[in-house]
Amino acid sequence: MSAATEIPAAIPNPTGMEPPKRRRGGLNAEHGRWAVYLIGPTIVLLAIVIGYPVVSAVIQSFQLDAGLDKATGLFVQGGFAGVTNYVHWLGQQCGNTACPPGNLGSQFWTAMGNTFFFTVVTVALETVIGVWMAIIMNRDFKGRAFVRAAILVPWAIPTAVTAKLWYFIFDANGVLNHVIGHQVLWFSGEWASRWAIIIADTWKTTPFMALLILAGLQLIPDEVYEAAKMDGASTMQRFWNITLPLVKPALMVAVLFRVLDALRIYDLIAIMTGGGGGSGNATVSLSVLVVDQIRQGFNSASALSTITFLVVFIVAFVFVRFLGANVVQTQAAQQKGELR
C-alpha cells in the first residue's frame, strides 16, 4: 500500500480524558422548553378569552329559552332542547304567508342569501380594483410613496365612522343625489339599499386588497418582464402569463381574508340600514340576525351564531383546500422552471 493510500493510525488522547458526552435532546430540547414557557401564557389567555365563550355558546345552543308555558301560562326556565333550536333556524319556512310577529326563523335563509351576495359581489369588485391599484402603485413614478399612503386612508378609518360617512352621502338630501341630479331613496329601495352597502364596503376595504397584492407584485423580478418584452409579449400577455400566475399566492391570501371578513359583516349594515331596506330585510346578514335574536332568546341566538361559525369555517376550509393546493403546485412549478 502506497503512502498516499495508507490509512493513518488513530491519534492517541494525550490527556487521557474522554470526550464530553452530548446531552440528550441538546439545543433543540432547550429551545422547546423556552417555546413552551413563552407561548404557554398566550395559549391559556386565548383559551379563556376565545375558547370558553365558544364552548359556552355551543352548550347554550342546546338549551330552551325561558318563557311562558303554553299549557299552564306560567313562566318557566328553559331546559335541554336537543337540536330544536337548530331545526327552528334550518327548517322553519313561512312560505307566502306572513310570519308571526317577532318570529325571525323564516329570515335565516334570506340572511344567508344576503350574506353570500354581499360576499361574492364585494370581494369580486375589491379584487379587480385592488389588482388595478396595486399595479399602479408598483410602478416607478414621482410621488409614489404619497400615493401609497393616501390609498390606505379609507382602510384606516374605523368601520363605524365609514358607515356614518356613507350614511350622510346616501341620504335623500345627501351629496350623491345632488351629484347625479336624481332623487334616489338609497335606504328604502331593496336593491338601492344593497348597492349602498356594497359601495361603502368596497370603498373601505379595497385598499387592504391592494396592499397585499402589492406585496406580491414587488417579489416579481424586473428581469422577467424585460425578457418578455424582448420576446415581443404585449402588455396583456405579460399580465396573464407573468403577473397573474406569480402574484397568485398573495392574491389568494388577500381574497381569503376578505371572504372571511365579508361573511361576518355587521357594523356597516347595522349603522347604515339596520338590516332593513325594501321589504324590511333586504340587507339583513347573518351577524345582524344574531344580534336581533339575542333580544328575543339568548339560547336560540347561540344556535344561530354556531351555525354562522360553521358556515364561515366550511367556506374557509373549502377555499384553502382547493385554492391552497393550486398555489403549492404553482410554487413547485416555479422551482422546477416549468412555469410558462
User: Beta-carbon neighbour count of residue 137 at 10 Å?
Assistant: 19
φ, ψ for residue 140, nearest 5 deg: -95, 105
And the C-alpha cell for 259?
371572504
pLDDT of residue 187: 85
Selected residue with higher pLDDT from 15 and 301: 301
Positive/negative CA dihedral, 8, 9, 10, 11: negative
Among 5-14, 21-30, 310-319, the range of highest mean pLDDT: 310-319
The residues, any chain, with a CB within 8 Å of residue 280's CB and separated by 6 or more, are none
Name residue, grid cell 344574531.
290
Whole-prediction pTM: 0.76
* Higher-pLDDT residue of 3, 190: 190
Residue 96, pLDDT score? 40
* Closest by CA position to 163, among listed 199, 124, 207, 117: 199
Q: By mean pLDDT, which of 201-205, 296-300, 336-340 is the weakest? A: 336-340
> What amino acid is encoded at 254 in this protein?
A
Q: Convert the chain into a string of H (helix), E (strand) and C (coil).
A: CCCCCCCCCCCCCCCCCCCCCCCCCHHHHHHHHHHHHHHHHHHHHHHHHHHHHHHHHHHHCCECCCEECCCCCCEECCCECCCHHHHHHHHCCCCCCCCCCCCCCCHHHHHHHHHHHHHHHHHHHHHHHHHHHHHHHHCCCCCHHHHHHHHCHHHHCCHHHHHHHHHHHCCCCCHHHHHHCCCCCCCCCHHHHHHHHHHHHHHHHHHHHHHHHHHHHCCCCHHHHHHHHHCCCCHHHHHHHHHHHHCHHHHHHHHHHHHHHHHCCCHHHHHHCCCCCCCCCCCCCHHHHHHHHHCCCHHHHHHHHHHHHHHHHHHHHHHHHHHHHHHHHHHHHHHHCCCC
Per-residue pLDDT tens digits for 58-116: 888 888 776 655 656 555 566 777 788 888 888 755 544 444 444 444 788 888 989 99
Q: What's residue 219's pLDDT?
A: 87
Q: Calculate mean pLDDT across residues 112-130.
A: 93
Residue 1's pLDDT band, with cuts at 50, 70 and 90, is very low
pLDDT tens-digit series, residues 191-247 = 888 999 999 999 999 998 999 999 888 888 888 888 888 888 888 888 888 888 888
Per-residue confidence band for 263, with pLDDT thresholds at 50, 70 and 90: very high
Q: Please report, rounded to a whole number, the percentage of residues in the chain having pLDDT higher than 70.
A: 77
Grid coordinates of 241: 402569463
Report residue 134: phi and psi, to 5°: -65, -40
Check residue 228 and give its pLDDT: 87
pLDDT of residue 180 exceeding 50: yes
Q: Which of 78-87, 156-165, 169-178 has the highest mean pLDDT?
A: 156-165
Distance between CA 101 and CA 35 in Å, rounded? 55
Instruction: Please give the pLDDT value at position 119.
Output: 94
Look at residue 47 in the predicted model and tell me its pLDDT.
Answer: 85
pLDDT at 337: 47
Residue 129 pLDDT grade (very low, low, confident, very high; cuts 50, 70, 90):
very high
* pLDDT value at 152 more than 60: yes
